[in-house]
Amino acid sequence: MCGIVGFTGRHQAAPILLDGLEKLEYRGYDSAGIAVAQGGAAASGAEGAGAASVRGAQSVSRQTVGAGQPKGVSEGGTEPSIEIVKAKGRLKVLREMTDDGRSVPGTCGIGHTRWATHGEPSVVNSHPHYAKNKRVAVVHNGIIENYQEIRDRLTKEGFSFISATDTETVAHLLDKYYAGNPIEAISRVMFRVRGSYALGILFADRPGEIYAVRKDSPLIVGRSDQGNFIASDVPAILRYTRDVCFIPNLEIVKLTDREIHFYNVDQEEVEETFSQVNWDTEAAEKGGFAHFMLKEIYEQPKAVRDTVSPRISEGHVNLEELGMSQEDLAKVSRIQMVACGSAYHVCMTAKYMVEQTARVPVDVDLASEFRYRNPVMEKDTLVVVVSQSGETADSLAALREAKKLGYRVLGIVNVVGSSIAREADSVFYTWAGPEISVATTKAYSTQLAAVYLLAIGLGRAKGMIDGAAEEEMTAELLRLPEKIERILEEKERIQWFANKFSHSKDIFFIGRGLDYASSLEGSLKLKEISYIHSEAYAAGELKHGTISLIEDGILVVGVATQKSLFEKLISNMVEVKSRGAYVLGVTSYGNYSMEDVANYTIYVPKTMECFAASLTVVPLQLLAYYVALGKGLDVDKPRNLAKSVTVE
């Protein structure tokens, strides 16, 4: 959830660290800090060095920590040290304190944006943390599950703790085991801690060197002619390099300004490959839009087109990238879908789509539940794990559980080289490009497109649809981007309506079948960024208790695109309206009887019913966006949320 950036090279590190952390603000954070190595040859040519006074002692902290050992003295006679600067609150506080990084000299450093887990948001609890003799500085993403056990033991050994964090135990452990060999110390720590972690580490007597290691939390390495980087996500370093390596699980990395070396947990050097990130740098910027979320809503037509078009040839779906033959697909007897959040709603849509198109039964589980319920699955079950980042902790754990049980796993992910992509047996990439806003939009739409293609491919392999039906469906898939664009052209009507309800306390969504799955996503979008209590219900369940919540003036959004269920949904809308609800209808053009019931109606272009979710979700995204905007909220940085949930 937190953000990590590190740089060692031939430029001042602090400005680069601050720039990288800014690109990771979307991950959510409550404090920020940097640690820069000073002294030694690597820092001797630092430009823009200068003194800076400590400002606002309640919200910022600045410390210089030394190596504490004669062997660390540099060639110039200056003892190497690590300067740590950290601040509670937004990154701008840290920028102001350090004069945009110019007052912290040095060409090697690490930075961090923290989202509090252990200990309240404060300067003391913010990262980086250092060891008792101040020769090690650490930043950390993840959770050390046995930190209290380690903390108690270290306390008995004379180590003193100043924070409430689990991360400080790692700093002290490193200090305990460090005897001049960083790789050995890190390896010994790996054997002692349980949980998930991505660590960036500085040793004061190793100026110009950054060490990193990961277990279950994402971390990448980037290289360039001007220096080398670590980061928790690609956007942090995209301005400087596209040459990256996704660090394999349980591997240690040593970076200097010119070299990168990888080691396994046994301290043996190993070779790793780098790949090119093809994202346009501008794709990770706002590009003139007020918020990343709005920009990404408008990028959906292109993202869906990029995901669908390469997989359709002459009216047929091509799934060769999965490494599964037609015979392999035909053998699939059941599908188990696993995901979290919005990706879970994609899986709910996939259940309806796959069962209708391929007649293959589909079970859908929240990833956080799947791994603990000891699932019973048939021999030829295909497990499908859906995740935008490919690093979602619960989804990754579910994947590993499925593989341990001997099932084939297909990962549907957006980030090339991510953990799920590497560990799954087959990978289906969604080409959404970088998604920065915490509330997912274009990644959701491309995931829908991916499961449509999977359903059609399965249906053809199973003999449930013929060539003519496949051509009809693929032709309509290719028309979806244009239809999404038509919805976006009507955004003013949605904005006008949203402004009327920006001060609502409760909003409900109802739907049936595929429209229920869309309602789930619409409700989640609204609560994520507007903080309005919102729930989605299968409309048939209203009379089983839920209708007791309806009162005068409450907004109920009814989604109705399925012909066979349209009249039933209309009846449900009549029920809530008769009890005082204000009803918004979302339906396809042609269903004009909706206006006899709804107080306000939003129409989407007609499409095949199985693809309707790709269209109805767009006005629901815009509704959430404009309601939040009307409340004056920061749409891209909703409270208590982070883009990538990399801890349980």
Tell me the catalytic residues: 2, 643
What's the rounded Cα separation, in Å, for the pair 587 and 606?
9
Structure-token pair, residue 136 = 């090690």
b/e sequence 268-283, b meaning 16+ C-beta within 10 Å:
eeeeeebeebeeeeeb
Identity of the residue numbered 529: I
CB atoms within 10 A of CB 53: 7
Is residue 584 within 8 Å of residue 558, measured between CB atoms? yes
Q: Are strands 243-246 and 260-263 parallel, antiparallel or unpaired?
A: unpaired
Q: Is 46 exposed, middle or buried (0-12, 13-18, 19+ CB in 10 A)?
A: middle
Is residue 112 within 8 Å of residue 31, measured between CB atoms? no
Q: Are strands 243-246 and 275-276 parallel, antiparallel or unpaired?
A: antiparallel
Is residue 23 within 8 Å of residue 236, measured between CB atoms? yes
Is residue 58 within 8 Å of residue 42, measured between CB atoms? no
> What is residue 61's three-state secondary structure?
strand
Q: Which residues contact 288 (CB under 8 A, 6 or more apart)?
A: none
What is the C-alpha R_g of the chain?
26
Is residue 34 within 8 Å of residue 102, measured between CB atoms? no
Is residue 403 within 8 Å of residue 375, measured between CB atoms? no
Is residue 509 within 8 Å of residue 541, measured between CB atoms? no
Nearest of 346, 291, 345 to residue 625 by alpha carbon: 291
Nearest of 469, 165, 439 to residue 317 by alpha carbon: 469
Phi, psi of 530 (to 5 degrees): -105, -15
The full DSSP string for 491-517 is HHHHHHHHHHTTT-SEEEEEE-THHHH
Q: How far apart are the first and last CA of the chain?
A: 10
What's the rounded Cα separation, in Å, for the pair 630 and 622?
12
Phi, psi of 216 (to 5 degrees): 70, -15
- State which H helix or E strand residue 60 sits in: strand 60-66
What's the rounded Cα separation, in Å, for the pair 295 and 69?
52
Nearest of 579, 591, 498 to residue 542 by alpha carbon: 579
Nearest of 513, 450, 458, 514 to residue 477 by alpha carbon: 450
